[in-house]
């Protein structure tokens, strides 16, 4: 197989992966956006948005639905990338993979539960915050540590020759 054929095969493979990621993201995000108020109905007695606030709330709904789709796509297609980034440590690859997946997927149920939680239900708010905020903090710490360990490992190997 020639170098050109290998390069073309990789390019086609990357393109087909990106097409699959975009397709899966949309397949998940579009229904999630429309099902959002059905699955997570606003709590009775909660504040009603003003006309000026509605576009901002819709933008948040779009973003959380897209991140749900991207997160699931990442969980389906992203592990091989994590293994290439961290070929020497399976534990680090898994830690990065699960942390990124959680950081992306968790927003849809997180914001949905906040919307559905009654304004006077402080205990519900505490549950939501511990269920989502603490793991978000842990995921951030894991990613920071993994990044630090990769940088430290790279420094120990020496400078990488430029491919430009």
pLDDT over 90, % of the chain:
78
> Contact, 79 vs 95, CB < 8 A?
no
**27, containing H or E segment:** helix 3-39
Answer yes or no: are the C-beta atoms of 135 and 105 closer than 8 Å: no
Q: What is the pLDDT of residues 61-90, one digit of tens each?
A: 999 999 999 999 999 999 999 999 999 999
Q: Is the dihedral of CA 147, 149, 150, 156 positive or negative?
A: positive
Residue 117, pLDDT score: 95
Quickly state the pLDDT bin for 158 (edges 50, 70, 90): confident
Q: How far apart are CA 38 and CA 32, in angstroms?
A: 10
| Model confidence at 9: pLDDT above 60 | no
């Amino acid at each position: 197989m020639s170098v050109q054929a290998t390069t073309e095969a990789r390019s086609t493979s990357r393109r087909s992966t990106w097409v699959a990621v975009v397709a899966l993201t949309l397949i998940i995000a579009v229904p999630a956006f429309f099902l959002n108020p059905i699955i997570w109905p606003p709590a009775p007695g909660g504040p009603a948005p003003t006309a000026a606030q509605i576009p901002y709330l819709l933008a948040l709904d779009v973003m959380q639905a897209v991140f749900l789709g991207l997160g699931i796509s990442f969980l389906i297609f992203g592990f091989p990338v994590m293994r290439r980034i961290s070929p020497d440590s399976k534990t680090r690859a898994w830690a990065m993979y699960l942390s990124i997946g959680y950081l992306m997927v968790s927003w849809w149920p997180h914001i949905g539960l906040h919307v559905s939680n009654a304004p006077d239900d402080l205990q519900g708010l505490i549950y939501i915050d511990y269920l989502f905020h603490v793991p978000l903090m842990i995921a951030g710490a894991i990613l920071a540590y993994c990044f630090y360990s990769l940088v430290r490992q790279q420094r120990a190997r020496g400078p990488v020759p430029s491919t430009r």
